[in-house]
Structure formats: C-alpha cells, structure tokens
Structure 1
Amino acid sequence: MSAKGGPEVGAPILDVTDLGVTFGTDTGDVAAVRGVSLAVRPGETLALVGESGSGKSTVALAAMGLLPGNARASGSATIAGTEVVGASDGTLAGLRGRTVSMVFQEPATALDPLTRIGSQVAEVIRNHRRVSAADARREAVELLRRVGIPDPERRASAYPFQLSGGQRQRVVIAMAIANEPALLIADEPTTALDVTVQAEILDLLRRLAAESGTGVLLVTHNMGVVADFADRVAVMLRGEIVETGDVEKVLLRPGHEYTRRLLGAVPRLVVDEPDPAHPNGSAAVGTEPVVDLRGVSVVFGRGRRAVRALDDVSIAVHPGETVGLVGESGSGKSTAARVALGLVAPSAGTVSLFGTDLRRARSRARRALRAGIGVVLQDPVASLDARMSVAQCVAEPLLIHRRGLSARERRDRVADALERVRLPRALADRAPRELSGGQRQRVSLARALVLEPRLLVADEPTSALDVSVQKTVLDVITDLQGELGFACLFVSHDLAVVQQFAQRVVVLRNGRIEEQGSTGSTLRRPETDYTRRLLAAVPVPDPVLQRQRRADRLAASAGPSA
C-alpha cells in the first residue's frame, strides 16, 4: 500500500504551525490551544500526550477540520500541502477518508449498529473511488482479512454487536486504511481494550505504517503505548506544547517538570522484585466474606445459542480487602461482578451477600442488601444523569434507601461525601457536563459511598482517565477504604493498576478461573501460560525495555522454529 495524495518524500504529511483554537461559551472565550507547532512525516508516529483538558484531542480534531461550530481556529494546519484551517467543506471532504483518516477511542460510536460490517467498509471505499459494489465488497473482505478479522467472508455479514470490542476496533482500522491514507490520526485507539488485544492492535498499526509509509498522529494518555509505538513525543499542558523530542529522550530523560510528574504517576508493573508490603492493608482475618460466590456458573441463551459466561467460579471478598478480577474481553469479569451485585442470577452455584443467600432473599430483603453496595462504572458520563446537578446525583441513593432523612440531613451527607472524594462543595450545584473526566468519576465515587457501603464494586473505574487523574481517584478509594473498611471487587484490564491496588487477584479466562492468589505471587510468579501472556502484553513506559518485551512476546507467540 502506498500513501496517496502525499507531498514529496521526506516533507511532513502533517504540518501544524502556531495553531490556536478558541471556544466561544456563555461565559466568554476559552483558549483551548495556543501556539502549537508540530509535524508528522511519512512512516513516522508522533505521540501527543498530556492530561485531560490539555488540548491534545482538540489539536487532532483541528487537523481533521472537525472542530465544533463554537470553535475558532487560527494559524496553519496542512495535510499533504493542503491547508485545513479555514478550508471549505468540499476541500475537507476531499481530504477525509482519502488523504487522512481517523481512528476513534470507542468503535461502538464509529460504527452504524444497523448496517453490516462489510457494507460499512465498502461504503467508505465507494465514497472516494469509482468501483462497483461487487468490487468494493471483495476489497472490504480483503481489508478485514488484512486487519486480522477471523473468517472475514462470514464476518462481513455480521453486525457490530456480534463482534468483540477488539474486532470492532479492527473494523474501524480497516475503514480508516481503506483508501490508503497518507496520514492516520488515532485518538486513544486502545484505551478500552484489554492488554492482549491492545498489543495486537498496536502490532497491526505498526505493520500498516511500515508497509504503507503512512504517518501516524497518536493521541493517548497511556505512556506504555507511547513507549511501544511512537517515534517522537510532544507533551501538552494547558493548550501548549511544553516538551517534544525522540521517544527515548522524553520518556527516559524528560526535560520539563510536568513531563516528570506525568511519568511519575504512571503505574508500573513490577515482575522481578521481592513482594512489597501492600499499601491497602489486609483483609480482616477470620471474618465472614462480604460477598461469596461458590461454584457459580452463568449460561445465557438456550440450546445451540447458549453461551457459558461463567463456569464453576468461586470468589470471596472479605472486609477491608480488595480483590482484582483480570482477564481478556469475554473472560467473564463483568459477569462475575454483576452476579456479586445480584443483577445476574447464576445458573448453578450460590451467591452469599453479607451472609445472606441471595436465592432465599425476598424483594424487600434484597433491597436492604443492595443498600450496602456501592458501584463505580467505567464511564461516568453514562452513569450520571445529565439532567441532575452533582448534588442530586450524589443524593439519589439516599432518596431510595434512606427515605427518613430530612432535606438538610441529605445536604449534609452529600457535602460530606464530596469532601471525602476531594471535591469542593461549590461543585454541588453544577451539572456533570461542566466537570472534567476525573471530577465526574469522583462524583460517581461519592454517590457510591454516600451510604457508607460494606462492598464497593468498581468495574474499570479508571481506564478512560489520564495517569495523573487515575492516580488521584485510586488514592481516594484507598484512603476511604482505610477509613470505612469496605470490601472492594475491582474489575480491570490494567494489570499494573491491579498490582498496586489489590491484595488478591483472580485471573479469568473463557469464564473459568485460570489462577488466583495474592497479587504479589500471582503477578510475579504466574503458574499458567495464559497469565504469563497477559503480563507479557503489558507495555511499560520505557522504550528500550519495551522493545525487548515486544520482541520476546512476538518470539514466544511464533513458537519454536521448524
């Protein structure tokens, strides 16, 4: 594949000079990007990193000409020599999908749920090239094969919901490369993926860039991904680039204090050191489990369409203890969490919550049991009602489970809950949309803990957050667990976070427990090949070490030579 529509060899395919972006709001203008200059050359990957609100995604959208109507751009951004800033809709339409393509973080929003996969890929082809429907269909199948979709002829007839998250992201990449773009902009392309799928997607993008000479602008908060994939790095802070350079220089010898702080917040997987004392303390020895799954199986559907999501799974979480559930997508992690919450009834086995068998609990008793559970989900935007204020969101559990409280008592409890998660009381009257991602997640945490629950279930609560905000949220949970003594069932695909946060870990694979034990021993001395593969797929924020880890992983997956 050759980059089409590109400039002469060696010249930047993306050239941004003194870019500024200002958003007009009801309270005045907000400068989101100020004086940004960067370049991406053919075959090169430039990583744009920084905290939420730093302006990195705004730069990417400006380069695509996709800024919203209330945005004003100044300066210059050229793609293959064509100016994007101030360009007409016709000019931009000619660039997008042909010369430049974009891969977004969430493939579910990029794919039409009502259109078959093959048709969506073929549509992208026919939008930019004069080919017959039959030829576009054949080319779509070949693209699906190229990005690693198994049985592409059959999968082309599938709908997005019939594919896994990793497969959907591969489809999005197939659409992005369908017309051989000279530039690929990837905005958090692996954030929602487990570590093995993430490694496969990065391998795929690396191979495609090498084969085609495509330049890549990678927007990410994952420093391990940067170390694994990028050639150069640009670090953004409050709308400006504060440091740029070769990936080894920036990650191993950062020159700016902000870059050092950012790297210092990255959770690092440790596999070759003695087990440290865990910062979260330990479970109450000899106490009855807060939640106890024994021999649990869950089967969805019937007959030939039946899917066994869990198979003879036993997990217990004690007061004051954090248990991490890890595994690939489809391993059963979230199903196990939903069983613990009483939201999914097991097909076999028993579930005990606070010493009560959920099968025998009547509706009123179940409601009382659920008052002792707090839940924090991955996406606070979806879990917080946009029509409510922050105070109303946090107070909602009190209205359901503590009906005897007066309005003043509710206000006091809400204020205390916000204070516990390190949010100022002044935020109580704001809408969730007016907060940053990290602030919204802490509002979700305040709501989960306002009843002072005995069990906190956290399902990927930090995967969409940048590293410094992630550290703040995890520190808050750790401090509150020490204060309130609740048990925590922590679902995550980030093994480094689990290693730092959980005392015990359960590794799930295809609905069964692959192995479990203390976090230190399981992640430092895994007993199974599957756990070792999971650990090998975790990228580390050291480019030199990561190159060696990638080589070892690829050699292991290739097996012994004939």
Structure 2
Amino acid sequence: MTAADPSATAVVEPILEVEDLGVTFSTETGEVSAVRGVSLHVRPGETLALVGESGSGKSTVALAAMGLLPGNARATGRAAIGGTDVVASCESELAGLRGRTVSMVFQEPATALDPLARIGAQIAEVVRNHRSVSAGEARQEAVALLRRVGIPDPEQRASAFPFQLSGGQRQRVVIAMAIANNPSLLIADEPTTALDVTVQAEILDLLRRLAVDAGTGVLLVTHNMGVVADFADRVAVMLQGRIVESGPVEQVLLRPTHDYTKRLLAAVPRLAVTEYTAVPTDTADPPPPEEPVVDLRDVSVLFGRGRRAVRALDGISFAVHPGETVALVGESGSGKSTAARVALGLVQPTSGTVSLFGSDLRRTRSRARRALRSGIGVVLQDPVASLDARMSVAECIAEPLHVHRRGLPPRERRARVADALDHVRLPRHLADRAPRELSGGQRQRVSLARALVLEPRLLVTDEPTSALDVSVQEAVLEVISELQDELGFACLFVSHDLAVVQQFAERVVVMRAGRIEEQGLTTQTLLRPGTDYTCRLLAAVPVPDPVLQRQRRAEQQTARTTDGPGVTA
C-alpha cells in the first residue's frame, strides 16, 4: 500500500483513536492486567499493524475497540470509532456501529460462522441487518461478495454449509461478511492465517483496494511479518500488554530499536531467495529402504454423486517413512487436508489403496483399525473446534490416554500431562484452565501436547503453526524436531507456509486441484521447482522487508497483466 500523503493525513481525523486503554480480567486467582496504557490511532485509508507474541494483548486491544470484551473484563481509558467512545457506550449504541461503521475479521472462522446455516444466507443476513434490501437482492450481493473474495463457483458455494468448505475458504467467507457494508474501519485479527500464499496475496490486494479506493482504515492484528511488510503503513509492537515500539513500517522492520522487536524479526522463517524458473526433471528420488509408515497408492476420492460430485483427490501417490517429515503444500482446496484424512483412515478412498503401519486399511477390521490409530497423533488446523470447551486443558491432553490406555493409573496420567505441557513450552499451571481462557496460539500448543501424549509413530499436522507467532512457532517446530529425533516418529506436515516447510520438511508434495504437481526433496523442489505452478506459489510468499516486498508485488502485478490470471484456488 502507498502511505497517504503526510500533508493530507495531518488534517484528517482518525477513524479509530485509542487513548490510555487498559483491560483487566477477573479470574479465580485474582485480577490479570492484559492491556496497560495503550494509545494508538488509525486514519482513513491507512493500515496500522499490531504485532507481538501470543498473549501480548494485541487481540484484546482489537476486541476492546469493538466493544466485544467478555463479561469478566473491565476496560478503562478511551477507544473511539468515528467519534463514538466504545468504552463508554451501551450495547444498543454499539449494535448500530458494528457491521456498518466498523467490522471485524476474526482469527478462527469456526467461531464466526453458524455451522447450521448456509454461507450465502449468513452473508445476506449481514447485508439486510444494515440496509433496506429485499431477500433476493441480498442473496445476489452475497454471491457477488463471494466472487470478490475469490471463492470459486460462488453461486454454488452460496448454498454450502461451512463444514463443506476448506479452512481457507471459510476465512474468505468471514472476510466477505466483514466488507459487506463497506465499513469505515476494518479490524482484522489474523485475516490471512488460514490462507495459502496465492490467496493471501489476493486478499491483501482486496483489503488494499478497500483502503485506497473506499478510504477504509485497517487495524491489522498479525504475527506474520511478511504480511506486515506487504500491507501495513505503520507498525506497533506489543509486549506484555504495552506498546514497546511503533513507527513507519520501514523503520520498525528494517531499523528496529527495541530488543524485543529485534528478537521477533530474527525468529521469522525466511524462504531461500532464488530465481523461480521451472526446471523440469525426469529423475525421481530413490525411496528410503524402510517400510513406509503410511503409503497412498493411486488414491482418488469423490464426494457426492451425479453432477454435483466433486473429485477431491485424483490418483495421488506418496509415502511417509519412519523418522522423516513429508510436507503437503498447495492452495486452499487443493486436496492436501483430504489426503491427510485419507492417511488417517477418516476418509474412505473411492479407489486406490492406503497402507498404515504395513496394514491395508480397507482390509483391517474395526478393532484392529482402532489399535493402529493409537499410534497416530493429530494436530488439526482449528484448535477451537478440536478442543472440548467443557474440559480443562489437562482433561483435553489426557483424553487420548483415557481412550487408548484405560488401565493407566491417574498419577501416571497426570505426570504424562505435565510432561506434555513442558514439551510444548506451556506452564503447568495452565492445566486447570479451560481452552477458552487461552490465546489462539496457546490453544494450538495444547492440541500439539495432546497429539504427543501417546508418543505416536506418526504425527499428522494440519497447519500446526498457523495460529502461532513467529517466536512460539520456532519453539514448537524445535520441539517437534527434538521429539522426532528422540522417538523416531514420522510426520505428515500439511501447510501453506512454504518458508516453514523449507525449514522443517525433508520432502515436499505439491498439490493442485486434487492432483500432485510434483514431489521430491525439499531442497530441490523449493529451490529448483519443476513446474510453473510451484514457481508461482514461491513467488507469492511475502518477505519481511517492505522495500523488497513492494518490488516483488510490482513484479507479480506486471506478470499477471502480461500473462493473464494467475493461480486460482
């Protein structure tokens, strides 16, 4: 984004103005101060990025600005949107403000979408809540919004339920709902967390056009420094509820002054820079000598019947061997999560064979299949959906022990839970809390602890670091690597973060529209890709350097203009 002219912004009143904001939570153990004396502003047409580690208070600031703090929270200071002080306003006043003047894109789409309502109806409801339009006009606008945020076949997808869409597609639906009424301020809490790099670039272009064309101010809450470099005008860095450094994006990212900011930037995984030109190769990597832990051969999956049938997988083959990490990468809807579910035995293939620990899953009886699954740990993309809200953290982590090892004494179960919390760098005192009391990144680490508690032979992870800030992400990947070296388990790693994949995986499988585009050693596939599709994926990865990122964005826009439309999901 091009920053607004300083001479113009000097006289434009902020659309969001936060002064000396404090937020305190009342808990069973006493009061916890989450935000302390935060002051910031966002003017029309500009983007302020709020960055910091999980638990730093950045999402709490966003919720306070929307007036959406939970009942046990108490806010002090001032948070004004368009001149209306949110802290001092009643709920009826805020109801007219939300969705019209200010909208929010939440971090976890599962909590923002009604699982029992079709997505077109949910978007249409947002439109009709603030505008006098007919039901038919609202539905047409819902379809147009789905098309605007890059959902394929928007007319058909408008009739789908949230569970029928991929994680990235659900996030785009949430963004469509947020921009439905052209708000003056958009608060985006990790808006690209669940999106692959190409769709992420498209969504950032969309938000950039909103800011420039409609004059929408954006408060961006994120841990992705590449997104900050690509999208923000200014940056505010939070630590333990306070802003420790702020300024123009180039100053903060290229010339940081605070030690904490320097540590954050040092932890950012960086994709190795190369010329992304396809280099076809006919040589295949020889498979490791060990028998595969999981082996998919010519697997196809068809959902639905007749003309509405969708081919999610089309004749894919790959294997994961003991002690190695294989990454499945590709755009949202490419089939990588479906492939992982096939490997787990949760989705039955329409054709082909699936071998798990040497056993053909189709020929394995239910009791034997359950025994096989006890050797698998799973980390799903959405920790809110995968953790039982009625359980404590300790109960969530111990659940696999109850299911698969019923005779384990309670004392040993508690010791296993404590060790699992240590492994994922979470303090043991969190064991008695409910998942809702934790930040998004902390909940994801609880999911990882639960997956590791059985010491699995295979760990299947679906976007395991998408909700984590860069420093915690680095720590969690180190934990997985250390435990993999110690226990020798295999890892099937589903991700859209190519920089993390390059750092973490030995082999990579690139998927597109249910098929495998190419696969091989990570060092070869990501540094010397064999297809134009992989080249475009790599070129779309944002880098945490605003100067370089502007240059890359200009090159991508030139390429799209010259070559026509790029990759679509």
Distance 1:478 1:45 in 2: 37
One-letter code aligned to 2:59: S
Closer, same or farther: CA 525–420 of 1 in aligned 2, 3 Å? same
Counterpart position of 2:71: 69
Counterpart position of 2:252: 250
One-letter code aligned to 1:536: A
Deviates more, 1:123-132 or 1:532-541: 123-132
Query: Contact 2:441 / 2:467 at 8 angstroms: preserved in 1?
Result: no
State the Cα distance separating 1:370 from its structure 2 match: 1.7
Counterpart position of 1:14: 16
State the Cα distance separating 1:72 from its structure 2 match: 2.0
Counterpart position of 2:368: 365
One-letter code aligned to 1:312: G
Counterpart position of 2:274: 272
Distance 1:508 1:8 in 2: 48
What is the TM-score of this pair, normalised by structure 1?
0.89
Query: Contact 1:268 / 1:496 at 8 angstroms: preserved in 2?
Result: yes
Distance 1:519 1:193 in 2: 21
State the Cα distance separating 1:269 from its structure 2 match: 1.1
Mapped pair 1:517 → 2:531: no
Q: How does 1:19-58 map to 2 (within 5 A)?
A: 19-58=21-60
Query: Contact 1:283 / 1:319 at 8 angstroms: preserved in 2?
Result: no
Counterpart position of 1:127: 129
Closer, same or farther: CA 448–72 of 1 in aligned 2, 3 Å? closer
Closer, same or farther: CA 403–138 of 1 in aligned 2, 3 Å? closer
Deviates more, 1:358-367 or 1:310-319: 358-367
Deviates more, 1:243-252 or 1:32-41: 32-41
| Secondary structure, counterpart of 1:22 in structure 2 | strand
Distance 1:326 1:102 in 2: 29
Counterpart position of 2:87: 85
Closer, same or farther: CA 257–350 of 1 in aligned 2, 3 Å? same
Q: How does 1:44-193 map to 2 (within 5 A)?
A: 44-115=46-117, 117=119, 119-130=121-132, 143=145, 146-147=148-149, 166=168, 168-193=170-195
Mapped pair 1:528 → 2:531: yes
State the Cα distance separating 1:125 from its structure 2 match: 4.1
Distance 2:504 2:498 in 1: 10
State the Cα distance separating 1:43 from its structure 2 match: 0.9
2:297 to 290, 294, 314: 294
How many residues are paired up?
548
One-letter code aligned to 1:18: D
State the Cα distance separating 1:156 from its structure 2 match: 5.5
Query: Contact 2:455 / 2:487 at 8 angstroms: preserved in 1?
Result: yes
| Secondary structure, counterpart of 2:243 in structure 1 | strand
1:400 to 390, 399, 403: 403
Distance 1:345 1:142 in 2: 35
Closer, same or farther: CA 296–334 of 1 in aligned 2, 3 Å? same
Deviates more, 1:152-161 or 1:489-498: 152-161
One-letter code aligned to 2:199: V
Counterpart position of 1:508: 511
Distance 1:447 1:152 in 2: 37
Mapped pair 1:309 → 2:312: yes
Deviates more, 1:470-479 or 1:368-377: 368-377
| Secondary structure, counterpart of 1:359 in structure 2 | helix
Counterpart position of 2:380: 377
Identity of aligned residues (%): 81
One-letter code aligned to 1:328: E
Deviates more, 1:203-212 or 1:121-130: 121-130
Query: Contact 1:284 / 1:320 at 8 angstroms: preserved in 2?
Result: no
Deviates more, 1:207-216 or 1:88-97: 88-97
Query: Contact 2:169 / 2:332 at 8 angstroms: preserved in 1?
Result: no
Distance 1:533 1:168 in 2: 23
Distance 2:446 2:107 in 1: 23
Q: Runs of at least 4 residues of structure 1 off by over 6 A?
A: none
Counterpart position of 1:4: none
Distance 1:162 1:353 in 2: 27
Query: Contact 1:292 / 1:352 at 8 angstroms: preserved in 2?
Result: yes
Counterpart position of 1:276: none
Distance 1:155 1:373 in 2: 33
One-letter code aligned to 1:539: P
| Secondary structure, counterpart of 1:559 in structure 2 | helix
Deviates more, 1:346-355 or 1:96-105: 96-105
Query: Contact 1:296 / 1:314 at 8 angstroms: preserved in 2?
Result: yes
State the Cα distance separating 1:355 from its structure 2 match: 1.8
Closer, same or farther: CA 404–184 of 1 in aligned 2, 3 Å? closer
Closer, same or farther: CA 519–430 of 1 in aligned 2, 3 Å? same
State the Cα distance separating 1:538 from its structure 2 match: 1.2
Closer, same or farther: CA 408–294 of 1 in aligned 2, 3 Å? same
State the Cα distance separating 1:375 from its structure 2 match: 1.4
| Secondary structure, counterpart of 1:51 in structure 2 | coil
State the Cα distance separating 1:85 from its structure 2 match: 2.1
Distance 2:366 2:124 in 1: 51
Distance 2:545 2:534 in 1: 22
One-letter code aligned to 1:225: V
Closer, same or farther: CA 29–511 of 1 in aligned 2, 3 Å? same
Closer, same or farther: CA 23–342 of 1 in aligned 2, 3 Å? same
Mapped pair 1:464 → 2:467: yes
Counterpart position of 1:321: 324
One-letter code aligned to 2:401: L
One-letter code aligned to 1:214: T
Query: Contact 1:283 / 1:320 at 8 angstroms: preserved in 2?
Result: no
Structure 2 residue ranges without an equivalent (≥5) = 1-8, 276-284, 565-569
Q: How does 1:202-281 map to 2 (within 5 A)?
A: 202-272=204-274
State the Cα distance separating 1:508 from its structure 2 match: 0.8
What is the TM-score of this pair, normalised by structure 2?
0.88
Deviates more, 1:230-239 or 1:432-441: 432-441
Distance 1:91 1:243 in 2: 33
Deviations 1:320-354 (A, max 9, x none): 10000001111111111111112222222211222
Counterpart position of 2:482: 479
Aligned-residue CA RMSD in angstroms? 2.9
Distance 1:139 1:327 in 2: 29
Closer, same or farther: CA 408–219 of 1 in aligned 2, 3 Å? closer
Deviates more, 1:334-343 or 1:318-327: 334-343
Structure 1 residue ranges without an equivalent (≥5) = 1-6, 274-281
Closer, same or farther: CA 496–74 of 1 in aligned 2, 3 Å? same
Closer, same or farther: CA 33–133 of 1 in aligned 2, 3 Å? same
One-letter code aligned to 2:214: S
1:492 to 495, 508, 514: 495
State the Cα distance separating 1:235 from its structure 2 match: 0.7
